[in-house]
Structure 1
Amino acid sequence: MTPLSRRALLRGGLAAGVLSLPLAGPAPAGTALRPPFRVVAMDFGLAETLIEIGLPPVALPDPGGWADWVVEPALPPGIVNLGTDREPNLELLAALKPDLIVTTPYLAAIRPLLEGFAPTREFPVYAPPGGHPYALSEAATRSLGAAVGRTDEAEALIARAQAAMAQAGAGFVRAGIADRPVLAVNFLDTRHVRVYGSGSLFGDVMERTGLVNGWTRPSNYWGFSTVGIEELAQSPASSLLYLEPISVDTLDRLAASPLWNSLAFVKAGRVLRLPPVLMFGMLPSAMRFAGQLSRVLDRRPSDG
Structure 2
Amino acid sequence: MLSPAGLDRRTLLAAACCMAARGGVVRASEPSPPARIVSLDYGLTETLLALGIAPIGMVQVGAWADWVVEPALPAGMIDLGADREPNLELLAAIRPDLIVTTPYLAAIRPVLERFAPTRTFSIYAPPGGRPYELSIAATRELAGLLGRAAEGEALIARAEARMAEIRARLRAMADIPLLIVSFLDAHHVRVYGAGSLFDDTLKRCGLANGWRGPCNYWGFATVGIEVLAAVPESRLVYLEPISGDVLTKLAGSPLWNSLAFVRAGRIQRLPAALMFGMLPSAMRFAALLGEHLSATERSSG
Which of the five TM-score ranges fits, normalised by the shorter chain? 0.7 to 0.9
Q: Give the Å deviation of 1:299.
A: 2.4
The answer to whether the 8 Å contact 1:129/1:199 transfers is: no
- Return 269-278 or 128-137, whichever deviates more: 128-137
The residue number in structure 1 matching 2:177 is: 181
Q: For 2:139, which of 141, 157, 168 is the aligned residue? A: 141
Q: Per the alignment, in what secondary structure is the counterpart of residue 162 of structure 1?
A: helix
The residue number in structure 2 matching 1:219 is: 215
Identical-residue share of aligned pairs (%):
64
Q: Give the Å deviation of 1:250.
A: 0.8
The residue number in structure 2 matching 1:116 is: 114
Q: Per the alignment, in what secondary structure is the counterpart of residue 295 of structure 2?
A: coil
Q: Give the Å deviation of 1:74.
A: 1.3
Q: Look at both structures and tell me which one has the larger radius of gyration over its CA atoms.
A: 2
Q: Per the alignment, in what secondary structure is the counterpart of residue 273 of structure 1?
A: strand
The residue number in structure 2 matching 1:285 is: 281
**1:42-70 Cα shifts (integer Å, max 9, x gaps):** 00000000000000111011110000100
CA distance in 2 between partners of 1:287 and 1:259 (Å): 34
Q: How many residues align?
A: 272
- What 5-or-longer segments of structure 1 have no aligned partner? 1-30
The residue number in structure 2 matching 1:42 is: 40
The residue number in structure 1 matching 2:72 is: 74
CA distance in 1 between partners of 2:239 and 2:264 (Å): 19
The residue number in structure 2 matching 1:90 is: 88
The answer to whether the 8 Å contact 2:33/2:145 transfers is: no
Q: For 1:58, which of 52, 56, 59 is the aligned residue? A: 56
The residue number in structure 2 matching 1:197 is: 193
- Return 126-135 or 226-235, whichever deviates more: 126-135
The question of 1:232 aligning with 2:223 is answered: no
**1:120-174 Cα shifts (integer Å, max 9, x gaps):** 000001133551100000000000001111111111000000000001111111x
CA distance in 2 between partners of 1:297 and 1:268 (Å): 16
RMSD of equivalent CA atoms: 1.6
Q: Give the Å deviation of 1:229.
A: 0.2
The question of 1:245 aligning with 2:234 is answered: no
Q: For 2:260, which of 242, 264, 288 is the aligned residue? A: 264
CA distance in 2 between partners of 1:198 and 1:296 (Å): 23
Q: Per the alignment, in what secondary structure is the counterpart of residue 301 of structure 1?
A: helix
- Return 274-283 or 82-91, whichever deviates more: 82-91
1:269 counterpart letter in structure 2: G
CA distance in 1 between partners of 2:265 and 2:187 (Å): 19
TM-score scaled by structure 1?
A: 0.87
